[in-house]
């Protein structure tokens, strides 16, 4: 896998592209920050960065905190939606502030996987995320 990622990163670099390796918890190699950091270090290529999915680490927030400073892209995932629109497992105000302090200028995509019906959950969660980003 490491050799294949190096090869793909070399190709991407030659095409002027940057790749993001997404952390993932479903039978994947990057279930925790330790896993993600190990793979990125082993590949050690400037064209391969960290695609932070806030909802995919098996240990949640602790791994998000450990890898946030490396993010080249962020998926803001919502597994649940509190009455105010927040995702209870992720401290989005702290995460966004941290990304801003380090000069993150990339996109933050919105990902909704909550059990609540999309017609009510998505507008509330998205409004919350926009409020956090605007503050």
Q: What's the pLDDT tens digit per position in 95-115?
A: 999 999 999 999 999 999 999
What is the rounded CA–CA span in Å between residue 70 and residue 52? Answer: 8
User: pTM for this one?
Assistant: 0.93
What whole-number distance in Å separates Cα of residue 25 and Cα of residue 129? 23
pLDDT (mean) for 34-54: 97
Separation CA 31–CA 68 (nearest Å): 15
CB 49 within 8 A of CB 12: no
pLDDT at 27 > cutoff 90: no
Structural domains in the chain, CATH included, are: 2-134 (3.20.20.150)
Measured between alpha carbons, how far apart are the two ends of the chain, in Å? 41
* Model confidence at 59: pLDDT above 90: yes
What local confidence, expressed as pLDDT, does residue 25 receive?
A: 82
Altogether, the residues listed in the chain come to a count of 135
Quick one: what percent of the chain has pLDDT higher than 70?
100
* Torsions phi, psi for 111 (to 5 deg): -130, 125
Are the C-beta atoms of 13 and 45 separated by less than 8 Å? Answer: yes
Strand-pair partners of 22: 51
Q: Is 26 a residue whose pLDDT tops 80?
A: no
């Amino acid at each position: 896998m490491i050799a294949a990622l190096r090869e793909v990163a070399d190709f991407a670099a030659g095409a002027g592209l940057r790749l993001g390796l997404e952390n993932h918890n479903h039978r994947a190699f990057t279930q925790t920050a330790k896993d993600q950091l190990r793979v990125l270090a082993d590949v050690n290529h400037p064209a391969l960065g960290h695609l932070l999915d806030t909802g995919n680490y098996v240990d949640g927030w602790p791994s998000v905190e450990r890898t946030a400073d490396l993010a080249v892209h962020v998926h803001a995932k919502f597994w649940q939606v509190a009455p105010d629109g927040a995702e209870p497992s992720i401290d989005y105000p702290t995460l966004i502030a941290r990304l801003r302090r380090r000069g993150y200028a990339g996109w933050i995509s919105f990902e909704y996987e909550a059990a609540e019906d999309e017609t009510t959950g998505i507008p509330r969660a998205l409004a919350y995320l926009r409020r956090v980003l605007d503050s």
